[in-house]
Structure 1
């Protein structure tokens, strides 16, 4: 069944951008005279920066730090990196172009804030999305269903008729909670099999027809 719309996550799904977030997080840890463990970093993947900064501060043993100030620092650094260093994940650009060529509505659904997303859209192509939902534009971001529910509403389609493409457990949880069909393409964090989730090792060679059939 061809979906009524395709909803794409950004970081780790369309772009291999987690290494850019790693750079910013490691630099901030160094600025604070600390190091962030791999376990803490993985737990931050897919979450909003504000939520991630709470985990980050706890992880480096400095829970008293101001999350808003750290978030602002991270976004300043990442926005600069987005302008110069974004790299597409294998098959992601080709799938996005195929979906657009088929005339299907698309949305970008991300926990990243609007300021950084606007920079990323220079590479993604604004014309490739009929709606954009950012982490600072919903009452509750991933893993809450709000972002995907909002995307479906903006596209005037039912969530159950949509196909979401995600890479993180947090994003998958959000899309499943909203009632969409979900393709999971793990990147920085392993995805566990679960009802409603179709796992792929990569989007390389993936076609709209194959994804539709796999999630029917």
Structure 2
């Protein structure tokens, strides 16, 4: 668990994925871009999020998703000012990453947890999230540990570093990549984590009927 940032967003994550929206916060002035990264295979219905460069094991969230493939997209902000100071050159940061389960608005949000985590035990400025030590986040099916090992293997012809480098060379930069393990067909969707290393929470959005419509990791940029 980790302490909250200065203001912890606990809802309204859909507004982070409105392309062209201008955002003004005490920290940044930015415009939102939405980047589609294709679909993520979730054959077990058990989704995990992690830093894919340094993960120890995949711990899925307790909330299960419909089995199948779901679109993944990024909320990327084009930052033109920080703390009121204009930037010499606008730059991009990944503000949030989303697995879109149903294309309907979320009416309520809850913190995503893994086995053994209980939000009722949180007090003060505490929240559950996953740790990032290599400036990178990812979504992957909970069964994809061995697939991720192969993708990250030193002898791999095309690993996550290569994929992110290629994504960064795109015009405009894609800020994320979708890489598939050829042996299993499982894939991982990987992206930079906001301002860098830290601990970041993931949130589950539900519609009026209580069905899961969205899973969002917030990188505390906005």
Normalising to structure 2: TM-score of the pair? 0.23
Normalising to structure 1: TM-score of the pair? 0.24
Higher strand share: 2
Higher helix share: 1
